[in-house]
Structure 1
Amino acid sequence: MLRIEALGKTYRTGDRALDGISLTVAPGEVVGLIGPSGAGKSTLIRCINRLVEPSAGEILLGGEAITAVATRHLPAVRRRIGMIFQEYALVERLTVMENVLSGRLGYVPFWRSFLRRFPQRDIDAAFALLDRVGLAAHVDKRADALSGGQRQRVGIARALAQEPELLLVDEPTASLDPKTSQQIMQLICEICAERALPAIVNIHDVALAQRFVSRIVGLHGGRVVYDGTPDGLSTTVLERIYGVADWSALAQPDGERCDAAPAALLATGAGL
């Protein structure tokens, strides 16, 4: 479980990016983080994995205050947090399997990683993960030969290879077409439910968040201005999150959310 208590971040310029953020994310819960540019979404994610140092407050993962961990111990903390990136962050010249196994680099001696000689347990686990994300037939392909949807699936498998206690997902669908975006969101939600894995998804697409996550947190000016169900995102709430805007044309998508979206959505996902 992730617990954030009164988290604040003020930069040297005096700009306050986060102002008293308090959240709890339960095992298996996927939280959609929405808000305008500059609201503090990326800063919040970076504070959680200590890429940015908070100015105040506390972050606890599995009961351990990771904000109190010394810098020299940060690699061990970051092993516990899987990251999925908007631009995939794959090594293009490496194969799908090699990219997934890179999620184990923090667990193996340098000589093993340098020679790409990973333990058989890690290799077997990587095969299982690639099968789960629909890429079993693409194990030996180079990353630069994959489509955007396939690359994001590799990124998901790589993050899971870390055996993380938390997933942080930064705009996973921003570079994808609508159909593939739905498949990727569905996949993330299903995997989190299967593994009781808490996740925070930074996402700009409000309609997509409404369709697939059960809880949405809206940030504005570094503060939480909404924390509730997708159904609670009324026009008034959206204007509070994003400022003055015409949200009347925002269509509520049909269909069920994360736990009940049609399985057929994923049926052809490996080829996207």
Structure 2
Amino acid sequence: MLSVENLTKVYRTGDKALTDVSFTVPRGQVVGLIGPSGAGKSTLIRCVNRLVEPSAGSVRLNDLDITRLRSGDLRRARRRIGMIFQEYALVERLTVMENVLSGRLGYVPFWRSFTRRFPPADIAKAFRLLDRVGLSAHADKRADALSGGQRQRVGIARALEQDPDLLLVDEPTASLDPKTSRQIMRLIVEICRESGLPAIINIHDVVLAQQFADRIIGLQAGRVVFDGPPAGLTEEVLTRIYGEEDWTAMRQAAAEDEAAEAEQRDEAKKMMRAL
């Protein structure tokens, strides 16, 4: 379980990015983190794994206080936090398999990582993960030969190769088309539920967050202004977070896209059964 208590971040300029942010994320829960640009979403994600140093407060993962760790202890703790990035953060010249195996770099001796000679168990797990994310046929392809959706799937597999206790996901669909965005969100949520893995997904698409997240946390100017189920995101709440917008039209368009995609999946299943 992740527990964040009174997390605050003040930059040297005096700008306050986060103010007394508190919440817990139990095992298996997927949290959608929403809010306008500059609300503190990315800062919050990075404070959890100490890529950004909090100014005050605490972050505990399974009773380990991450905010108090130093050097080697912090590196070991980060191995248990999988990170999925908006821009994929893959090594383009390496193969898909090599990128996935990079998730084990914090566990293996330097000589193994330098020579890319990973233990057989790590390689077997990487193959299982590639099969789970639908990329088993692409294991030997270079990362720069993949589409955006495929690259994000590699990033998911790499994070899971770490055997994490928590997933932090930063804008996983920002560079993807709507259909691929839904596929990626569906995959992340399914994997979290299968493995009981808690996750925080920083996401700009409110409708997508409502469709897939178990819970929504809304930030405004570095403060939590909403924490509850997706159904609780009324127009009044959304206006408080983002300002005035035609939320009804946005939801209707997203629902139509989702219905069309579901129909396509059903047709594909019928064709497979016919064969």
Q: TM tier, shorter chain?
A: over 0.9
Task: Determine the structure 2 residue equivalent to 1:38.
Answer: 38
Report the CA distance between 1:244 and its aligned residue: 3.8
Residue type of the alignment partner of 1:20: D
Residue type of the alignment partner of 2:59: I
C-alpha distance after superposition, 1:165-201 (max 9, x if no partner): 0000000011111111000000000000011100000
C-alpha distance after superposition, 1:233-261 (max 9, x if no partner): 11110111113444343325449x9xxx8
Distance in 2 (CA, whole Å) between partners of 1:196 and 1:254 is: 28
Distance in 2 (CA, whole Å) between partners of 1:86 and 1:263 is: 27
Instruction: Give the TM-score taking structure 1 as reference length.
Output: 0.92
Indicate the RMSD between aligned Cα atoms, in angstroms. Answer: 1.9
Unaligned runs of 5+ in 1: none
Distance in 1 (CA, whole Å) between partners of 2:23 and 2:265 is: 34
Distance in 1 (CA, whole Å) between partners of 2:223 and 2:67 is: 19
Task: Determine the structure 2 residue equivalent to 1:25.
Answer: 25
Question: SS in structure 2 opposite 1:249?
Answer: helix
Task: Determine the structure 1 residue equivalent to 2:159.
Answer: 159
Q: Where is the helix percentage greater, Structure 1 or Structure 2?
A: 2
Distance in 2 (CA, whole Å) between partners of 1:263 and 1:91 is: 34
Moved more, 63-72 or 208-217: 63-72
Question: SS in structure 1 opposite 2:251?
Answer: coil
Distance in 1 (CA, whole Å) between partners of 2:74 and 2:214 is: 31
Residue type of the alignment partner of 2:102: S
Distance in 1 (CA, whole Å) between partners of 2:263 and 2:134 is: 16
Distance in 1 (CA, whole Å) between partners of 2:13 and 2:249 is: 38
Distance in 2 (CA, whole Å) between partners of 1:116 and 1:263 is: 41
Question: SS in structure 2 opposite 1:176?
Answer: coil
Question: SS in structure 2 opposite 1:210?
Answer: helix
Distance in 1 (CA, whole Å) between partners of 2:136 and 2:263 is: 22
Report the CA distance between 1:12 and its aligned residue: 1.2
Distance in 2 (CA, whole Å) between partners of 1:262 and 1:3 is: 40
Question: Which residues of 2 match residues 1-272 of structure 1 at below 5 A?
Answer: 1-252=1-252, 253-254=254-255, 264=265
Percent sequence identity over matched residues? 71
1:58–1:120 distance in 2 versus 1, CA, 3 Å? same
Report the CA distance between 1:131 and its aligned residue: 0.4
Distance in 2 (CA, whole Å) between partners of 1:248 and 1:143 is: 39
Question: SS in structure 2 opposite 1:131?
Answer: helix
Distance in 1 (CA, whole Å) between partners of 2:145 and 2:180 is: 17
Report the CA distance between 1:231 and its aligned residue: 1.2
Distance in 2 (CA, whole Å) between partners of 1:187 and 1:127 is: 17
Report the CA distance between 1:25 and its aligned residue: 0.5
Distance in 1 (CA, whole Å) between partners of 2:263 and 2:215 is: 19
Distance in 1 (CA, whole Å) between partners of 2:84 and 2:100 is: 12
Distance in 2 (CA, whole Å) between partners of 1:262 and 1:157 is: 28
Question: SS in structure 1 opposite 2:200?
Answer: strand
Residue type of the alignment partner of 2:94: L
1:5–1:182 distance in 2 versus 1, CA, 3 Å? same
Report the CA distance between 1:88 and its aligned residue: 0.5
Question: SS in structure 2 opposite 1:47?
Answer: helix
After TM superposition, the runs of 4+ consecutive aligned structure 1 residues lying more than 2 A away are: 243-250, 252-255, 261-265
Residue type of the alignment partner of 2:43: T
Report the CA distance between 1:13 and its aligned residue: 1.0
Report the CA distance between 1:262 and its aligned residue: 9.2
Give the count of matched residue pairs.
263
Distance in 2 (CA, whole Å) between partners of 1:141 and 1:235 is: 45
Report the CA distance between 1:154 and its aligned residue: 0.3
Moved more, 199-208 or 72-81: 72-81
Distance in 2 (CA, whole Å) between partners of 1:224 and 1:169 is: 18
Instruction: Give the TM-score taking structure 2 as reference length.
Output: 0.91
